[in-house]
Amino acid sequence: MIESFLLASVVLCAFLTGVLRHYALSRNLLDLPNHRSSHSVPTPRGGGVAIVLTTLIGIAVLTSVGDVSLPLCMAMVLGGGAVALVGFLDDHGHIAARVRLLIHFISAAVILLLLSGLAPIQVGPIAITSLILRNTFAILYLVWLLNLFNFMDGIDGIASVQVVTTCASASLLFYLSGNHALISATLLLASATFGFFIWNFPPAKIFMGDAGSGFIGIAIGVLSIASSWEAPAYFWAWCILLGVFIVDASYTLMRRLLGGAKIYEAHRSHAYQIAARRFGAHLPVTIVVGLINVFWLLPLAASVVLLGLNGALGALIAYSPLLAIAVSCNAGSDRT
């Protein structure tokens, strides 16, 4: 039953992506190359809406048969839907950054209200039990997560591979640890994204756009917050599995801030963008990201969930070589 449902999600998203590509071409909704771009030919954008629609339809179906809780469904629909809508409008025109950010924070607050916030978590020897402290962190975490997917969706296939490998890995950890509550929803997001990836595989025939990247970021945030109530180790596992995106985006942003750059302006100084220029192609970098996720980050996340490794220590171990890569790429500098 679940296998057929997931296959249907792949097919539906692939079909909708094709429809959206035709729509984008007919409306001249193209990403035109410029000096800040990592692509060289005009390419339709907005295909991520197919991921949004497929995921929300699928979540509704899973909720109707009891595989997904109503609060989780509402968090995806209300929080994720609002983020996708503002991204869609921005893809078609321009929404002021402060307006987008306000909606992002409101969406994050709604999600936390529906999911009862972030569960108490352990940071090294310290237990974070304060409701105010952990939910303040959770709001910032959700807003940062949805924006970093936007920042990191800059070469063909990279965001899709990140979502598919991260969600598949998290589902495997849920299964191996005997917790099946979130497997269906997590695999749904992976399946929908894979359907889009068929079109986004390098060289991409369509780009995700802000609607898609923001939605998948907030959707992963929803799943990770919800999983923290099943077991706090799951939250750390998600943070580890997202390591490539978290480290690259965070280091690059921090360095640009310290260098006085306007962080809201488009740029191409992320480590993955620099690596793509050095390789002379997007595909090798996208493949390497997938390999890092599966062969480096998944074993560490498994050590946290299955072997009892401290989550904060696991994240520190996971992030250290990723940070070294970002530094070696001179990420955050325009002189690369």
Is pTM beyond 0.75? Reply is yes
330 within some domain: no
224 within some domain: yes
Short-list 120, 151, 161, CA closest to 256: 151
Which residues are CB-neighbours of 293 under 8 A, at least 6 positions away?
A: 161, 162, 165, 166, 169, 241, 244
Residue 123 main-chain phi, psi, to 5 deg: -115, 100
What are the tens digits of pLDDT across the range 55-109? 999 999 999 999 999 999 999 999 999 999 999 998 777 788 889 999 999 999 9
134 within some domain: yes
Alpha helices in the chain (DSSP H): 2-26, 49-64, 70-74, 81-92, 97-115, 131-152, 158-176, 183-200, 209-230, 232-241, 243-258, 271-279, 283-292, 298-307, 311-328
When divided into structural domains, the chain yields a total of: 1
Q: What is the model's pLDDT at position 308? A: 94
Q: How far is CA 244 from the centre of its chain?
A: 11
Note down the domain range covering 156. 2-241
pLDDT at residue 261 tops 80: no
Residue 335: pLDDT band with limits 50, 70, 90? low
287 within some domain: no
- Quote the CA–CA distance of 30 and 207 in Å, as a whole number: 9
- Quote the CA–CA distance of 263 and 251 in Å, as a whole number: 12
Q: Could you tell me the CA-to-CA distances from 78 to 53, 66, 70, 103, 319 in Å, in that order?
A: 13, 19, 12, 11, 32
Q: Greater confidence, 169 or 35?
A: 169
Q: What is the model's pLDDT at position 155? A: 92
263 within some domain: no
Residue 36: pLDDT band with limits 50, 70, 90? low
- Quote the CA–CA distance of 12 and 53 in Å, as a whole number: 9
What are the tens digits of pLDDT across the range 209-248? 999 999 999 999 999 999 999 999 999 999 999 999 999 9
Query: Token pair for residue 51?
Result: 């991921």
Query: Token pair for residue 151?
Result: 């920042």
Q: What is the model's pLDDT at position 124? A: 75
Residue 263: pLDDT band with limits 50, 70, 90? low
277 within some domain: no
316 within some domain: no
171 within some domain: yes
